[in-house]
Amino acid sequence: MKSIALAIEERSPQGIAGGIARLITTGELAPGDRLPTVRDLAADLGVSPATVSHAWQRLSSTGLITSRGRSGSFVRAMPREWMPRRYRGMDGSHDAPLDLSRGTPDPALLPALGPAISRIGARADTSSYMQLPDIPELHDLLRDTWPSPVESITVTNGALDAIDRALTSLVRFGDRVIVEHPTFPPFLDLLEHHGLDTVEVPVDAEGMRPDALAAALRSNPAVVLLQPRAHNPTGASITLERAKQLAFVLYRSRTAENALVIEDDHSGAISMAPEVTLATWLPERVLHVRSFSKSHGPDLRIGALGGPRALVDKVVARRLLGPGWTSRMTQALLFELLTDPVSVAEVDSARDTYAQRQRSMATALRDHGVDAWAGDGINTWLAVADERSAIVRLTAAGIRVAPGRPFLVTGDAPGGHIRVTVGVARDDHAMIAQALAEAVRA
């Protein structure tokens, strides 16, 4: 303890945190090393315990140390955890014979990239900084297939990139954002990063509930963030009638008359539900995001953002000061995949296969007494008697699922939930359903 105290030159919270950080960076404090207690270090330094406690909070918030309750504080095994908070524990880092936790598509159902790569040739110009951000043929195709008439479109590095850049350009610290409950965990991390307050609205089998949205709009939000199809984690898709109801609620609100809507259509090409967007009724207030990660490959990192020109132009202008644009070579590759008959047929087949797997799993679960329905996309959401017990039981059975808590805005009802990526369960649905049913009741 004395050696740690000697390394600290300044006795302020920032100085103490800086001294400890230097010891960790140089390796003098190794991953897993136990740190002195707050009171012991305060006594060695001649400062108050509150001063050391503030330093510990700084180190913990940057990911350098971790607290284990009464056991004390320790240097993290990984000095800096790059994974956002709600992603932790959902990364599939623990091996399991059957991993249904990741929320990613079945690799066997992605379209083959080789033929498309061989065709792009001179179409992908990699030598210029000054050309338009989007290649014209992809831009025109996106406009022609957008779910409603749109003023402006720009290509982005996936859906989260589009949402992040929209928030950066269009909201202010402390603004309120309405989100679905449950919702995609990275949304919550992203909103927290931007200093935004979340207001939750529950979803049912047809999406965000209009009555709950009307109540939430009284909080004067700046943004409503929703998933129109294959909602992650529940698999719900908004019906046309529900979309019309939500648009009407927004239109009538006097406390949210300037609120923007950001729609994340992350699973579009593998969704069985018809395309839907609130821009059909509120074109001047909706930014619609399309992603091709689930349908064409997560590592392509490509999506598109469309909406009113004044809003999209702000995103494009800000992006030019950073990465500039999405690789035109990747854009050319996506264009080939979206227009080649063989690739289109492969994606259509994948959509049908995911739907069949959803139906088979839902039927098998109902056979085992679990109230389940076939969701859209690749995920399903199950209520469990006890979340921890359910995950432990499934792990023992060689099945990994995602815990429900990271998907929740605040708290949870007694028991809990699990998210199951049934889209990657190729067979043995009866066996998986039996294990899930036992876990649900554990």
- Least confident window among 32-46, 168-182, 253-267, 274-288: 32-46
What is the number of helices (H) and of strands (E) in the chain? 16, 15
Confidence check: pLDDT of 192 > 70: yes
Q: How far apart are CA 407 and CA 87, in angstroms?
A: 10
Q: What is the mean pLDDT of the chain?
A: 90
Whole-number pLDDT of residue 79? 42
Give me the phi and psi of 172, to 5 degrees please.
-120, 155
| Lookup: tokens for 36 | 């002195």
Closest to 198 measured CA to CA, from 216, 177, 219, 224: 177
Whole-number pLDDT of residue 132? 83
pLDDT tens-digit series, residues 120-160: 865 566 667 767 889 999 999 999 999 999 999 999 999 99
Whole-number pLDDT of residue 208? 96
**pLDDT tier for residue 71 given thresholds of 50, 70 and 90:** confident
Whole-number pLDDT of residue 64? 82
Whole-number pLDDT of residue 91? 53
**pLDDT tier for residue 195 given thresholds of 50, 70 and 90:** very high
Whole-number pLDDT of residue 414? 66
**CA distance from start to end of the chain:** 46
| Lookup: tokens for 262 | 């950001």
pLDDT tens-digit series, residues 374-403: 999 999 999 999 998 998 889 888 999 999
Whole-number pLDDT of residue 306? 98
Architecture of domain 85-108+343-441: Alpha-Beta Complex (3.90)
The CA R_g of the chain, rounded to the nearest whole Å, is 24
Architecture of domain 2-75: Orthogonal Bundle (1.10)
Whole-number pLDDT of residue 130? 67
Closest to 305 measured CA to CA, from 297, 294, 316: 316
For residues 418 and 124, the model is more confident at: 418
For residues 27 and 411, the model is more confident at: 27
Per cent of the chain over pLDDT 90 is: 70
Per cent of the chain over pLDDT 70 is: 92
Whole-number pLDDT of residue 93? 47
* HSE of 26, CA atoms in CB hemisphere, 13 A: 9
Work out the average pLDDT over 44-53. 91
Work out the average pLDDT over 323-346. 94
**pLDDT tier for residue 341 given thresholds of 50, 70 and 90:** very high
Whole-number pLDDT of residue 343? 97
**pLDDT tier for residue 72 given thresholds of 50, 70 and 90:** confident
Whole-number pLDDT of residue 69? 75
Whole-number pLDDT of residue 392? 86
Confidence check: pLDDT of 80 > 70: no
Q: How far apart are CA 57 and CA 44, in angstroms?
A: 19
**Ranges of each domain in the chain:** 2-75, 85-108+343-441, 113-341
CATH of domain 113-341: 3.40.640.10
| Lookup: tokens for 437 | 């049913």
| Lookup: tokens for 49 | 């315990």
Whole-number pLDDT of residue 142? 97
> Is pTM beyond 0.85 here?
no
| Lookup: tokens for 389 | 């017990």
Work out the average pLDDT over 61-87. 73
**pLDDT tier for residue 412 given thresholds of 50, 70 and 90:** low
Confidence check: pLDDT of 429 > 50: yes
Instruction: Using CA atoms of 354, 356, 359, 365 in order, give the dihedral in degrees to the nearest 10.
Output: -80
Confidence check: pLDDT of 82 > 80: no
Confidence check: pLDDT of 313 > 50: yes
Q: How far apart are CA 431 and CA 425, in angstroms?
A: 11
Whole-number pLDDT of residue 63? 73
Which DSSP letter does residue 239 get? -
Confidence check: pLDDT of 356 > 90: yes
Whole-number pLDDT of residue 118? 87
Work out the average pLDDT over 349-363. 98
Work out the average pLDDT over 289-307. 95
pLDDT tens-digit series, residues 218-276: 999 999 999 999 999 999 999 999 999 999 999 999 999 999 999 999 999 999 999 99
Angle at 257 between CA 288 and CA 202, to 5 degrees: 65
Whole-number pLDDT of residue 194? 92
pLDDT tens-digit series, residues 84-105: 777 665 654 455 689 999 999 9
Q: How far apart are CA 21 and CA 28, in angstroms?
A: 10
Closest to 20 measured CA to CA, from 8, 34, 36: 8
Work out the average pLDDT over 268-296. 97
Q: How far apart are CA 140 and CA 64, in angstroms?
A: 48
